[in-house]
């Protein structure tokens, strides 16, 4: 009978439910939810700024805490000063548009190991630090020069909590000052810095492609040379200015705007750029060319014993601005062609200068080595040992093809 069956199974089921309930309760009480940490109980680190304590001390902006009387001397030397910018959990703006308060604050400590310093910082912090939303790492030039960049970045590579798209900057001044910066937009400083570098695609004077933690890691792993944007803090405004060039983990030199421009012409990382050239007819006036499509091809060639590279650049764009005192007939193809020629010459000169600059420093920012190895593995095996001396002699043959697609809305 159905009824009878039900009595029995009901008892079974009741027992099962009780067992399940007890086990869930036990789980609840024994687990203790190890990793449970509410969002508001976390201190999100937005910027990690690394300074050399000695240089900071000289500038006098840092006050050392006085040691308690009986304290033990701190282990090791104090190689770095780590400052972290932390998000303040303030009330979202009320409707009236009240005065914007600062959204972040900065804590610093001294030490040798990054991790140790991070934990040490808990002495000044009400909540523990989380790096899940770390947006930027700013390293002062002095700190980099001290021990190289690999040791500084190690903590940020090892911890799986970090993001790979965290941007890295080198600053000639104090990194802490940049961490203390409050953007006028009201957003926190970290995402603001992160945003600055995203504009590299539209600004030919600034480089930022493949300069985040992930790509730097890859470059370090593959023993490649790499560049990190240089961030200057002028008049309380952080500003990208130049590139710090690294070879074998050490800062070799800086690249200025001109070299950056050359780098970008060769690698084609920008989406859009403005190139100004002198007008063929008015040498004192400038014509701006708005580049919007840029293809480059850097290919190694081996011809007998000669190794050389060819670079084909194709640029497509419009005329963006003409500053000439008299107007030109921009429908005249001969005139346009002259402009194209002018730009091409300018670009190829810039490229050649950059190429030589690289060779001069022994820097391989274009992966010349990998290209040669990839395309000509057997020849590479032969010259592998003499690479350093060969590199500085490799010529580059540039051909630039500039095409003007449009001349603008109104002449």
**Which residues of the shown chain bind other proteins in the complex (CB under 8 A)?**
1-3, 6, 9-10, 13, 17, 24, 27-28, 31, 33-40, 42, 44, 46, 87, 89-92, 130, 132-133, 135, 160-161, 163-165, 188, 190-191, 198, 214-215, 217-218, 221-223, 367, 370-371, 373-378, 380
Query: Which residue lies nearer to other proteins by CB, 132 or 332?
Result: 132
CA dihedral 339, 341, 344, 349 (to 10 degrees): -110
Query: Which residue lies nearer to other proteins by CB, 40 or 64?
Result: 40
Taking the complex as a whole, the smallest distance from the CB of residue 375 to other proteins amounts, in Å, to: 7
What is the 3-class SS of 278-337, one letter each residue?
ECCCCCCCEEEEEEEEEEEEEEEEEECCEEEEEEEEEEEEEEEEECCCCCCCCCCHHHHH
Query: Which residue lies nearer to other proteins by CB, 31 or 326?
Result: 31
Q: And the tokens for 404?
A: 């003007």
Taking the complex as a whole, the smallest distance from the CB of residue 119 to other proteins amounts, in Å, to: 13
Residues 6+ positions from 353 with CB-CB distance below 8 Å: 258, 259, 262
Q: And the tokens for 40?
A: 């508001």
Instruction: Please count the CA atoms within 13 angstroms of the CA of 196 that sit on its side-chain side.
Output: 24
Query: Which residue lies nearer to other proteins by CB, 54 or 102?
Result: 102
Is residue 205 classed exposed, middle or buried when 0-12, 13-18 and 19+ CB atoms within 10 A define those classes? middle
Taking the complex as a whole, the smallest distance from the CB of residue 155 to other proteins amounts, in Å, to: 15
Query: Which residue lies nearer to other proteins by CB, 189 or 242?
Result: 189
Taking the complex as a whole, the smallest distance from the CB of residue 411 to other proteins amounts, in Å, to: 36
The two beta strands, 128-130 and 226-234, are unpaired
Query: Which residue has tokens 């006028």?
Result: 184
Q: And the tokens for 297?
A: 């091809």
Query: Which residue lies nearer to other proteins by CB, 60 or 160?
Result: 160
């Amino acid at each position: 009978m159905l009824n009878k069956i039900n009595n029995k199974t009901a008892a079974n089921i009741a027992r099962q439910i009780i067992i399940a309930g007890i086990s869930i309760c036990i789980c609840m009480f024994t687990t203790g939810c190890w990793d449970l940490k509410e969002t508001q109980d976390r201190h999100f680190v937005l910027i990690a700024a690394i300074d050399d304590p000695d240089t900071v001390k000289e500038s006098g902006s840092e006050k050392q805490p006085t040691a308690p009387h009986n304290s033990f001397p701190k282990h090791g030397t104090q190689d770095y000063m780590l400052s972290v910018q932390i998000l303040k959990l303030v009330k979202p703006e009320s409707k009236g548009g009240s005065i914007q308060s600062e959204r972040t604050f900065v804590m610093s400590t001294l030490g040798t190991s990054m991790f140790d310093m991070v934990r040490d910082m808990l002495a000044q912090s009400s909540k523990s630090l989380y790096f899940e939303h770390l947006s930027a790492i700013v390293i002062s030039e002095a700190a980099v020069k001290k021990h190289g960049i690999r040791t500084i970045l190690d903590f940020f590579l090892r911890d799986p909590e970090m993001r790979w798209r965290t941007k890295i900057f080198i600053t000639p001044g104090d990194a802490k000052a940049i961490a203390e910066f409050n953007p006028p937009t009201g957003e926190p400083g970290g995402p603001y810095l992160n945003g600055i570098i995203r504009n590299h695609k539209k600004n030919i004077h600034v480089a930022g492609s493949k300069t985040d933690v992930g790509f730097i890691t890859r470059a370090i792993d593959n023993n490649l040379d790499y560049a990190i944007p240089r961030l200057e803090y002028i008049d309380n405004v952080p500003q990208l200015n130049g590139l710090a060039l690294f070879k074998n983990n050490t800062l070799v030199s800086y690249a200025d705007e001109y070299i950056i421009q050359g780098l970008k012409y060769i690698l084609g990382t920008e989406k859009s750029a403005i190139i100004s050239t002198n007008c063929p007819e008015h040498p004192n006036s400038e014509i701006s060319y708005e580049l919007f499509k840029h293809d480059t091809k850097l290919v190694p060639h081996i011809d007998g014993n000669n190794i050389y590279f060819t670079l084909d650049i194709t640029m497509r764009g419009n005329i963006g601005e003409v500053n000439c005192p008299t107007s030109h007939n921009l429908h005249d193809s001969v005139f346009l062609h002259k402009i194209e020629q002018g730009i091409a010459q300018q670009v190829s000169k810039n490229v050649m200068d950059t190429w030589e600059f690289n060779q001069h420093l022994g820097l391989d920012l274009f992966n010349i080595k990998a290209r040669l190895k990839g395309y000509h593995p057997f020849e590479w095996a032969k010259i592998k040992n003499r690479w350093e001396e060969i590199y500085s002699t490799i010529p580059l043959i540039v051909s630039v093809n500039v095409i003007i697609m449009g001349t603008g809305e109104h002449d």
